[in-house]
């Protein structure tokens, strides 16, 4: 059984390796053929494809709160956990909503200025005006999302016994490591590689470089894809499900994989990344989750590592 499972995981890595090889040969031709900054598909996932790191970290903070509530810690200890977890959870929701609203405003501005809907300065170098409703909408949506999230997490956690909560605390700590490790790796590589994005090369492809060419810090951050990495972090969600509920874990794993594929393709479609960019971004997230899940002695599909 273990051999079959390891073979399946190796097949996933092999598929991503093939995509990286294809990208190394035909990155430019693929982007030139399918890039469209006006794509509704690409714009949708650009605007709303970064939700899962925030959701995962928020769920972790709720686990810590519920664990403290059920623990025998002194009042000061419980209060400290409550305070830190609530602030951290609210911050994650705030950041998640802020990013979605930012991209939404970008799309609306593009439409008003007769520019491609999905055109965006992903590296933050352009000035942008925000409408008067931006901050009130950010506050209201953040508070509502936080309240609904707390309610849903309370329903999820209230039936858990001490042993289950102990396991979930480890899953929550692993989530923090996975999200920040994957994000840090991608951010460092983006700065270090200095690869031009496809949309930056539309009028002049002379600056095009293959993915293995390291250009140094020059303000261009195409390689690897942060959207793809953060989308594939959704693969961590099955670990929040009871390992005995294998069917549910498998369904969530499949849905997370489909979401990751959609976001990765959307980044190439909208011209924000090359195929090799999204392949490496995906590999980073999958590898980090693989390592963390093994440290937690878990499989995403619910099977024991010892089986």
Residue spans of the domains in the chain: they are: 2-202+212-295
pLDDT at 20: 79
Nearest to 259 by CA among 23, 50, 101: 50
Contact 113, 37 (CB under 8 A): no
Closest-CA residue to 289 (of 246, 239, 223)? 239
Residue position matching structure tokens 């009042």:
75
Q: Give Cα 39 to chain centroid, integer Å.
A: 21
pTM of the model: 0.89
- Whole-number Cα distances in Å, 244 to 1, 15, 239, 290, 302: 17, 29, 11, 19, 6
Closest CA to 65 of 158, 177, 178: 158
The DSSP output letter for 118 is T
Q: Backbone phi, then psi, for 164, in 5-degree steps?
A: -65, -40
d(CA 47, CA 39): 12
Per-residue model confidence as pLDDT tens for the chain (307 residues): 444 455 666 777 788 788 878 888 899 999 999 999 999 999 999 999 999 999 999 999 999 999 988 888 788 888 898 999 999 999 999 999 999 999 999 999 888 888 888 887 656 545 567 888 999 999 999 999 999 999 999 999 988 888 889 999 999 999 999 999 999 999 999 999 999 999 999 888 988 999 999 999 888 999 999 999 999 999 999 999 988 888 999 999 999 999 999 999 999 999 999 999 999 999 999 999 999 999 988 777 665 554 4
The whole-angstrom distance between residue 27's C-alpha and the CA centroid of its chain comes to 23
Question: 30 burial class (0-12, 13-18, 19+ CB within 10 angstroms)?
Answer: middle
State how far the Cα of 30 lies from the Cα of 17, in Å rounded to an integer.
17
Exposed e or buried b for every residue in 197-216, given b needs 16+ CB within 10 A?
bbbbbeeeeeebbebeeeee
Question: Are 223 and 284 in contact, with CB atoms under 8 Å apart?
Answer: no
List helix spans (H) across the chain. Answer: 2-34, 40-48, 52-70, 75-112, 134-157, 162-193, 226-232, 246-269, 275-295
Distance CA 236, CA 192 (A): 27
């Amino acid at each position: 059984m273990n051999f079959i499972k390891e073979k399946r995981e190796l097949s996933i890595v092999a598929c991503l390796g093939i995509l990286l090889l294809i990208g190394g040969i035909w990155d430019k031709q693929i982007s030139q053929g399918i890039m469209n900054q006006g794509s509704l598909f690409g714009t949708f996932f650009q605007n709303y494809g970064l939700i899962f790191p925030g959701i995962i970290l928020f769920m972790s903070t709720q686990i810590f709160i519920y664990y403290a509530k059920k623990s025998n810690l002194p009042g000061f200890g419980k209060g400290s956990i409550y305070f830190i977890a609530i602030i951290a959870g609210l911050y994650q929701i705030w950041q998640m909503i802020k990013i979605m609203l930012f991209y939404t405003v970008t799309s609306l501005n593009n439409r008003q200025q007769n520019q491609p809907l999905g055109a965006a300065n992903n590296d933050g170098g352009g000035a942008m005006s925000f409408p008067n409703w931006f901050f009130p909408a950010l506050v209201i949506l953040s508070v509502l999302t936080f309240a609904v999230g707390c309610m849903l997490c309370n329903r999820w956690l209230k039936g858990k016994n001490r042993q289950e909560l102990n396991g979930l605390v480890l899953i929550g700590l692993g989530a923090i490591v996975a999200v920040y490790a994957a994000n840090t790796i991608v951010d460092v590589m983006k700065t270090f590689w200095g690869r031009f994005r496809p949309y930056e090369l539309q009028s002049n492809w002379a600056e095009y470089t293959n993915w293995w060419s390291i250009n140094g810090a020059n303000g261009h951050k195409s390689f690897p894809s942060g959207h793809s990495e953060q989308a594939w972090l959704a693969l961590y969600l099955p670990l929040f499900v009871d390992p005995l509920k294998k069917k549910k874990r498998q369904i969530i794993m499949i849905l997370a994989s489909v979401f990751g594929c959609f976001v990765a393709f959307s980044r190439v479609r909208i011209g924000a990344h090359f195929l090799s960019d999204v392949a490496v971004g995906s590999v980073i997230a999958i590898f980090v989750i693989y390592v963390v899940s093994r440290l937690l002695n878990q499989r995403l599909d619910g099977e024991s590592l010892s089986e």
